[in-house]
Amino acid sequence: MPLLAAVRPRQAGFALVELSIAAILVLLGAIWFANRIQNDVQDAGARATAAYLLAVRGATQEMLVQHFETLAGYPAMPAHAGPPPPVPSYLEHTPPLDLGVAELVTPRGAGLPGYLPAGFPTQPVYGGEVRVAHEVPGRSTSEILKRAGRE
């Protein structure tokens, strides 16, 4: 019997080395995958913020085109030119103009929707606040913000 024991090969610990290499490869793959997921989430947030800002920009441009004369201080259009669009209440006060998303969502007048849809979020994806400021010639932005109580 002792002769059979001498012929049997020994393991010599290679299984432990193979297991360690496999564990390291699995950990590296998990780290890479987690980093990839994090980047994808950040990219999705950036795309959503860009879409949000583009929607606010489009609504602001539409408002500026419709009410340019009011914002620039020009006299009202003559009656024969057709009825002007109703001026929203937030545009009736004198400049400086400081609008938020809430003002762009409010209806423009009787039966007219706001410049943004009714369910539009008030904040971008990562938080913060979007404001539209219209400067008056001769005043700086900091003066406008001080007057609005934001600085």
Q: Write out pLDDT tens, residues 65-106.
A: 887 777 776 776 676 667 767 777 777 765 667 888 888 888
The verdict on residue 1 lying in a domain is no
Is 9 domain-assigned? no
Phi, psi (degrees; rounded to nearest 5) at 134 = -110, 115
**Which tops the pLDDT comparison, 8 or 87?**
87
- Specify the higher pLDDT residue, 32 or 119: 32
Domain-embedded: residue 45: yes
Phi, psi for 124 (deg, rounded to 5): -65, 175
Let me know the angle formed at the C-alpha of 56 by 53 and 58, rounded to the nearest 5 degrees: 110
Q: What pTM value is reported for the model? A: 0.67
Residue 126 belongs to some domain of the structure: yes
Q: Comparing 90 with 28, which gets the higher pLDDT? A: 28
Q: What is the pLDDT of residue 20?
A: 93
Does pLDDT of 29 surpass 70?
Answer: yes
Domain assignment present for residue 50? The answer is yes
Position 37 scores a pLDDT of 97
Residue 6 belongs to a domain: no
Rounded Cα–Cα distance for residues 115 and 111 (Å): 13
Instruction: Give the residue, 64 or 1, on which the prediction is more confident.
Output: 64
The amino acid sitting at 4 is L
Token pair 């400049």 is at which residue?
95
Host domain of residue 19: 14-148
Look at the chain and report how many structural domains it folds into: 1
Q: Is residue 54 part of a domain?
A: yes
Within-domain flag for 37? yes
